[in-house]
């Protein structure tokens, strides 16, 4: 196989959920269009597992750029202070130095700006997830399917954290007798009292764990979108009305029975349990 990269994907700089639900599936679809060529993907360190099933090589970048704003739409719109397509291309060229990839043609670099995403332009694009290749392991790694929780505790948009944090402990009391695991990034998530603390694990391992769950619970977040990509239904809540269509169809490639809790970021424990019981 030639060491020359025929097609290269630039790193994604937006939120993790959009990387899972929009960027990685789009690249998977594009790779399917170019079966006979090499297809290298650059990504954030630790995110290699999102691309391993279709990329020729997955190359973690050395460092992410210092940009004005990193948010869900960063990759899909052109706004002053955000990356231009030319910036992505030059970034790719710099990162590939030393990887013996040769000269990469500008027209063969895919960037997030190449995806047209406009929520107001009609129905949002459906997640292009290959149905025959779900994330996670098919091998059973636990005897009894368990419940996962993502107890978001991020300083960015703190109003999306479920507050007060004691609600998570109350939920665990209601789930007494269930096997519950806590996932998420250390420093940006909690481990509720009584849950098995599996936070901070490599992404590939998290995907394997999620594939063994029967449901994941939490406020709308990237890990919940990842769970849907692992064929795991979610019990979710959000104050963003756009999430309704995402969890119902747009980012739900396997038509899973996701359940929404209320219409705000702060439902009660009773409301969560009312949605959780039919799935547990």
Reported confidence tier of residue 90, pLDDT bands at 50, 70, 90: confident
pLDDT above 70: percentage of residues in the chain: 77
Reading the block at residue 248, the tokens are 């119902």
Which position has the higher pLDDT, 264 or 3? 264
**pLDDT greater than 60 at residue 229:** yes
Which position has the higher pLDDT, 60 or 249? 60
SS3 11: coil
**pLDDT greater than 60 at residue 199:** yes
SS3 214: strand
Say which range, 87-101, 157-171, 185-199, 207-221, has the weakest mean pLDDT.
87-101
* 1-5, 117-121, 163-167: which is most confident: 163-167
What is the pLDDT averaged over residues 182-197?
95
What is the pLDDT averaged over residues 24-45?
86
The average confidence (pLDDT) of the chain is 83
Residue 108 — φ and ψ, nearest 5°? -105, 10
CA 50 – CA 133 distance, rounded (Å): 12
Domains and CATH numbers, the chain: 7-118 (no CATH), 146-279 (3.40.50.2000)
At 36 the pLDDT is 74
**pLDDT greater than 60 at residue 2:** no
CA 85 – CA 83 distance, rounded (Å): 7
Q: What is the pLDDT of residues 46-87, one digit of tens each?
A: 999 999 988 999 999 987 766 544 455 555 555 545 677 888
* 26-40, 64-78, 137-151: which is most confident: 26-40
Strand (E) positions, the chain? 7-9, 39-43, 57-60, 109-110, 146-149, 151-152, 180-182, 189-190, 196-197, 213-219, 234-237, 259-260
What is the pLDDT averaged over residues 220-240?
95
DSSP 133-193: S-SS-SS--SSS-EEEE-EE--SSSGGGS-SSTHHHHHHHHHTTTS-EEE-S-TTSEE--T
pTM of the model: 0.86
CA 56 – CA 223 distance, rounded (Å): 25
235 within 8 A of 261, measured Cβ to Cβ: yes
**pLDDT greater than 60 at residue 179:** yes
What is the pLDDT averaged over residues 192-196?
95
């Amino acid at each position: 196989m030639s060491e020359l990269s025929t097609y290269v994907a630039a790193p994604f700089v937006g939120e993790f959920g959009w990387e899972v639900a929009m960027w990685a599936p789009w690249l998977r679809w594009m790779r399917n269009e170019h079966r006979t060529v090499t297809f290298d993907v650059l990504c954030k360190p630790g995110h290699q597992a999102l691309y391993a099933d279709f990329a020729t090589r997955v190359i973690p970048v050395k460092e992410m750029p210092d940009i004005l704003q990193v948010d869900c739409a960063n990759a899909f719109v052109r706004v002053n202070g955000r990356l231009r397509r030319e910036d992505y291309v030059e970034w790719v060229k710099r990162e590939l130095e030393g990887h013996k990839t040769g000269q990469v043609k500008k027209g063969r670099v895919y960037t997030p700006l190449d995806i047209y995403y406009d929520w107001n332009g009609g129905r949002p694009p459906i997640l292009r997830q290959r149905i025959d290749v779900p994330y996670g392991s098919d091998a059973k790694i636990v005897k009894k399917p368990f419940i996962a929780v993502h107890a978001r505790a991020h300083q960015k948009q703190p109003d999306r954290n479920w507050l007060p944090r004691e609600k998570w402990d109350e939920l665990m009391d209601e789930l007494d007798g269930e096997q519950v695991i806590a996932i998420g990034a250390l420093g940006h998530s909690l481990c509720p009292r009584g849950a098995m603390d599996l936070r901070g694990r490599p992404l590939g391992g998290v995907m394997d764990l999620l594939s063994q769950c029967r449901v994941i619970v939490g406020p709308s977040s990237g890990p919940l979108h990842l769970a849907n990509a692992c064929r795991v239904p979610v019990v979710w809540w959000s104050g963003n009305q756009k999430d309704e269509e995402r969890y119902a169809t747009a980012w739900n490639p396997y038509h899973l029975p996701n359940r929404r809790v209320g219409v705000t970021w702060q439902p009660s424990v009773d409301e969560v349990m009312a949605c959780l019981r039919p799935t547990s």
